[in-house]
Amino acid sequence: MAAKHYLIPDYILNFKCAMCTECCKRWRIDIDKKTVDKYEQYAAADQEFAALVENNLKKNKDGRAFIQLKQRDKTAITEVEGEKKEITVQEARVCPFLDEEGFCAIQRKFGIEALSDTCKIFPRNIAFTERGYEMAFTYACAAAANTLKKKEPVEFYMDPQGFDFPTLNGHLTKIGDVLERKKAGKTSYFEVEELLIDIMQFREMDVDTRLILAGIVVDKLKDGDTAGIRKYLQNLDETLIDQLKNIPSQPLFMMKLVKEAVDKRILGGITESNLSKLIALSYIQLKLLDEAIISNAKVESLLENYNKYYKPYVSGISHIYENYFVNFIFSKKFYTHKYMDAFFLMIFFYTLIRFFTICSCMAEERNVDEDMVVGVINAIERSIGHNSSFYEDVLKKIKQGDYHRLPYVLSLINL
């Protein structure tokens, strides 16, 4: 059997699950066909497990399945008239295989290899390429989001000593050889990925300038000539970057984009409490997005607080954004999407994160810090970033309005 190869960023290599069990609640948990077959084999020899599978696994016609989450009671401590009392409350929909001690009954009984691809992978995104298995994060996991606080630039390791990963049944992105990449119009994809990561880690520029530079590169990637682009960048006139940085900002357009995206998410239903709190801030407490038409007064209020609580302190959180963008690029979205579409999605999430972070600053009347930004990222990723059908629909609507072209995207960066 050929040896497995891994290309792993340091933040994945050093990750440890916090055992918070949040990934076992509220979300639909899909089970691949090979795992379903394996569970049926286990059930044939284990009556207790057979009962669990029969009561909690809903099988599809194609042989795959999903776990039917259950409401369950748990005890909590509350204070009534100065006296602490134990009460019973109903917990959100929970995976029935999660036991009272916070462990997965399947993994405890049969080992980690018995888990479905969904449960093995989270909170990772895994791509299989000619270089091996390449892993990035979804920051829908709070413990993964906390790795964004790492201040040193991300380093990547090929086949790090002692690293291994359970066998997968195919629940991953696949990036083919040169011929397949050529058919996809991405012959030089890996060079593109490396170039964009280099730009995002170029700390002689502030984060917004790096994004603008990445936008220039993406706009010129139609021919895939990365060598030519690197030469172009070496001779790039700083005047051009200054001109692009001075493209008039469009905070009203930014707020409209946020409102349209969030309105759509509200209509679709929000199960994540942290995003609900951020939405309550912007709609109810601060009244920035509460009306159909966003007034100039609301825009001015946002900008005033941006300049008071956020802009002077952005250097203290720039490493978080840098790490976020590096992970976004390494998660292969620039392969699975057209280059400009992927760049727009990156800026779209940046826009959401920055907006709700400013809202948090306003509501709490304090300066931005690491914990605030990481909390916002985790909230957005759990409800929006983890829902590809939602943000793909946002991308589709933006493209219909022709707003994903470079000048419009750069206007979102220049707040």
Q: What counts of helices (H) and strands (E) characterise the chain?
A: 20, 10
Same-domain status, 142 and 281? no
- Are 358 and 329 members of one domain? yes
The pLDDT of residue 82 is 66
Q: Are residues 238 and 256 in the same domain?
A: no
**Confidence band, pLDDT 50/70/90 cuts, at residue 2:** low
235 and 261 share one domain: no
Residues 136 and 32 in one domain: yes
pLDDT for the residue 220? 79
Residue 357: inside a domain: yes
Q: Which residue has the tokens 């994903």?
A: 404
Q: How confident is the model at residue 87 (pLDDT cuts 50, 70, 90)?
A: low
Q: What pLDDT is stored for residue 60 in this prediction? A: 87
Same domain? 283 vs 393: yes
Residue 194 domain-assigned (yes or no)? yes
Alpha helices per DSSP H over 337-405: 339-364, 370-380, 388-400
Say which residues have a Cβ less than 8 Å from residue 257's Cβ, sequence separation at least 6: 348, 351, 398, 412
Provide mean pLDDT across the span 203-207.
Answer: 91
Lowest mean pLDDT among 73-82, 176-185, 251-260: 73-82
Ranking 176-190, 231-245, 252-266, 349-363 by mean pLDDT, the lowest is: 231-245
Q: What is the pLDDT of residue 1?
A: 43
Residues 6+ apart with CB under 8 A from 192: 186, 221, 224, 226, 334, 339
Last residue within a domain, chosen from 201, 217, 243? 243
395: in domain: yes
303 and 224 in a single domain? The answer is: no
Q: In the chain, how many domains are there? A: 3
Instruction: Say whether both 45 and 151 belong to one domain.
Output: yes
* 382 and 275 within one domain: yes
Q: Is residue 168 part of a domain?
A: no
Note the pLDDT of residue 265.
72
Mean pLDDT of 113-122: 93
Question: CB-side exposure of 168: number of CA atoms within 13 Å?
Answer: 20
Q: Are residues 256 and 236 part of one domain?
A: no
Q: What is the mean pLDDT of residues 344-373?
A: 96
For range 82-108, the mean pLDDT:
79
Do residues 126 and 230 both lie within one domain?
no
Integer CA distances (angstroms), 151 to 148, 201, 320, in order: 8, 11, 8
Given 225, 243, 261, which residue is the final one in a domain?
243
Main-chain phi, psi angles of 322, to 5 degrees: -55, -50
Q: Is the pLDDT of residue 222 over 70?
A: no
Contacts of 191 (CB under 8 A, 6+ apart): 226, 227
> What is the DSSP code string of 14-50?
T-------GGGBSS-EEE-HHHHHHHHHHHHH-HHHH
Residue 267 predicted with pLDDT over 80:
no
Mean of the per-residue pLDDT values for the chain? Answer: 87
Is 69 within a domain? yes
What strands lie across the sheet with 156-158, from one edge to the other? 156-158, 6-9, 132-137, 124-129, 173-174
Q: For residue 163, is it within any domain?
A: no
Rounded Cα distance between 373 and 368, Å, is 7
* 208 domain-assigned: yes
Which residues form the domain of 47? 6-158
CB 369 within 8 A of CB 313: yes
Considering the entire predicted model, what is its pTM?
0.90
Q: Sign of dihedral through CA atoms 334, 340, 344, 347?
A: positive
